[in-house]
Amino acid sequence: QDATNYRTIRVEVEDAAGTITICRPKALNAVNTLAMEEIVHAARALDKRPDVKALIITGEGPKYFAAGADIKEMADQTYDEAYHKRFMEGWTGLAAVRKPIIAAVNGYALGGGCEVAMMADIIIASENAVFGQPEVNLGVIPGMGGTQRLIRAVGKSKAMDIILCDVRLTAFEAQASGLVSRVVYTDQLMAEARSMAARIASLSALAVAKAKDCINRAYEVPLSEGLRYEQREFWSAFATEDQKEGMHAFLNKRNPSFKDR
Ligand code: HXC
């Protein structure tokens, strides 16, 4: 697939940041199957580009990150269709991305929109962001990770309240709950995301990928295994030139110049 042929997203690379913007304005950036396929395709292509050090995912316009999965696409879908086409399973492809993914949440992130944000590694939000999982209102449940990732971010009681009672979190509530890392003025959101990407780009891509991998590992395994995993990744960092460069630059009071080797 050619990047210029994307129909539901826009992809831009600027100063080491690869930005994927969801562009479905008539559906408030709701993500349908094509959007999922294009986002995952673009993310994997950006992951391979050596000039890109971090990914940003956001929604077009100032009000909607994504209003959910596409209700029009789902309304008449049968169990048989959902099962056989493995509806929305393709999102698992994002987990293979090694570079950090920053969700820059500009406004509503509801249902599948909130779930896409939670698939990212770091969520930053504009002041007007709203997070929610209103699927039970539609007779379904979150289906892109919401019941699993939200509880890890905000704890069981809040996750139940958000999913069962359609409680929505403002940007600051989401930050207080640990779901969101930074909240910024709405017109500063992309600048903040790019500055986060630039900071990441100044580091060794190897160390960044190891850190991301180990942090995400904590979701998957018990503590003792996670600690063993971290130890091995930490030890293996001493096989890289970037470790020598980073430590010697510190000792020599100069800035490091990492080569991602
Ligand atoms: C398809 C959507 C949509 C969605 C809005 N639209 N959300 N289309 N899928 N998720 C469409 C509306 O039908 C409408 O189309 C147009 O966008 C404008 O929407 P309004 O409601 O008029 O806008 P507004 O009053 O500004 O309200 C914004 C909103 C509201 C609060 C975000 O649209 C809303 O509540 N949307 C649904 C949120 C939701 O339930 N999300 C969860 C979806 S289920 P027309 O043609 O009338 O202009 C889900 C499942 C996840 O995500 C698991 C899947 C595997």
Indicate the burial class of 8 (C-beta count within 10 angstroms; 0-12, 13-18, 19 or more). buried
- Measured CA to CA, the distance from residue 111 to residue 181 in angstroms comes to 20
β partners of residue 36 = none
What pLDDT, on a 0 to 100 scale, did the predictor assign at position 156? 98
* pLDDT, position 9: 98
Residue 79, pLDDT score: 97
Share of the chain above pLDDT 70, in %: 98
Per-residue H/E/C for 118-134: HHCCEEEEECCCEEECC
By most ligand atoms within 8 Å of CB, the mutation choice from 28, 130, 144 for ligand 1 is 28
Over range 94-98, report the average pLDDT.
Answer: 94
Any catalytic annotation for residue 38?
no
Residue 28 CA to ligand 1 centre (angstroms): 7
Give the three-state DSSP class for 177.
helix
Residues 152 and 115 sit within 8 Å (Cβ to Cβ): no
Q: Is 37 a catalytic residue?
A: no
Q: Which residue(s) pair with 14 in the sheet?
A: 17
Residues in contact with 14: Cβ distance below 8 Å, sequence separation at least 6, in sequence order: 194
Identity of the residue numbered 103: A
141 within ligand 1 shell (Cβ under 6 A): no
pLDDT digits (tens, 9 = 90+) for 18-32: 999 999 999 999 999
pLDDT for res 2: 54
Answer yes or no: is pLDDT of 153 > 80.
yes
Q: Tell me the CA–centroid distance for residue 74 and ligand 1, in Å.
A: 12
pTM of the model: 0.96
What is the residue-averaged pLDDT of the chain?
Answer: 97
